Amino acid sequence: MKQAMLIVNPSSGKELGKQYSDHALKTMNEMGYETEVRETKGEGDAKEFAREACDGKLEFVAVLGGDGTISEVINGMAEQENRPLIGLIPLGTVNDFARALNIPMNPEEAIDIFKQNHVQRTDIGKINGRFFINIVAVGALAEASFSTPIEQKSKLGPLAYIIEGMKKMKEKQPFELSVQSDHDWKGDSLLMLVALTNSVGGMETIAPDAEVNDGMLHVFIIKDIALPQFLMLIPKVLSGELADSEHVHYIKTTKLEASSTYEMIANVDGDEGDKLPVEIENLKQHLDILIPLKE
């Protein structure tokens, strides 16, 4: 019998993890997998479970949790020789990675697509020695994201990031930024976004051209502008036209190095990452993930 692992974050999705794990386990058994269920109890558990799945040469790993749990699993698998097929069951606040892959936000529907056995070769990103699945951001607005209280994220979802971001924007903290890539850039910036997918903070219009398997980093550098000009960028975000603004420098590249004379910390998938300088690259089609068949 084929071997699989179900990694469950019981605290995800308002503690609905356990509620859906039985359905996932039943489905995986019907698919011919002998499945071991592993529940996370703290930070780093999902990463360790994923590494064990690779070492044991399991064929399939299903992940029931939010972007944080999925990110841990990716970090546990990314550098392993044997990387099992992945199934995602979104239960988090935003679920950007699942959105980008068109996986249903309803957990039961996400589980049911496992049976379709439709595989997508999917990019992941690497920043220094760490791997990411959605976004790297630098700037005061980005720092607001990892300072947003968990309770606020749970209650308000993507709105929580906007509220904290606007608080930071009042302080207006531009920083000197240097980006080396296929197209170099240097100047004063309010924010740099390096998007791997088209879904950022629950919005699918920031990087509409980003595909999950295009091998590219989509880089948006918002220049040092006044608050009224910054507010005028919001409609462009919502319409998918951020790259067209005169206040935004857009770069499409496979890898870059970002540095600053200021002490800036990168936000990696919503969490605090390394201080600049950082090297970022796209690992093209690095993982196999189950996604829905196109209708």
Q: What is the architecture, at CATH level 2, of domain 132-284?
A: Sandwich (2.60)
> Which of residues 191 and 154 earns the better pLDDT score?
191
What is the structure's pLDDT at 162? 53
What is the reported pTM? 0.88
pLDDT 10s digits, 94-136: 788 999 999 999 999 999 999 999 999 999 999 999 999 998 9
DSSP string, 208-240: TT--TTS--EEEEEEES--HHHHHTHHHHHHHT
Instruction: Measure the CA–CA gap between 76 and 80, rounded to whole angstroms.
Output: 8
pLDDT 10s digits, 14-50: 567 677 999 999 999 999 999 999 999 999 999 999 9
Q: Are strands 265-268 and 185-195 parallel, antiparallel or unpaired?
A: unpaired
* 3-class SS of residue 127: strand
Q: Over range 225-237, report the average pLDDT.
A: 77
What is the structure's pLDDT at 156? 46
Domain boundaries, given as residue ranges, for the chain: 2-117, 132-284
Q: Which fold has domain 2-117?
A: Rossmann fold (3.40.50)
Question: Is residue 282's pLDDT more than 60?
Answer: yes
pLDDT category, 170, cuts 50, 70, 90? low
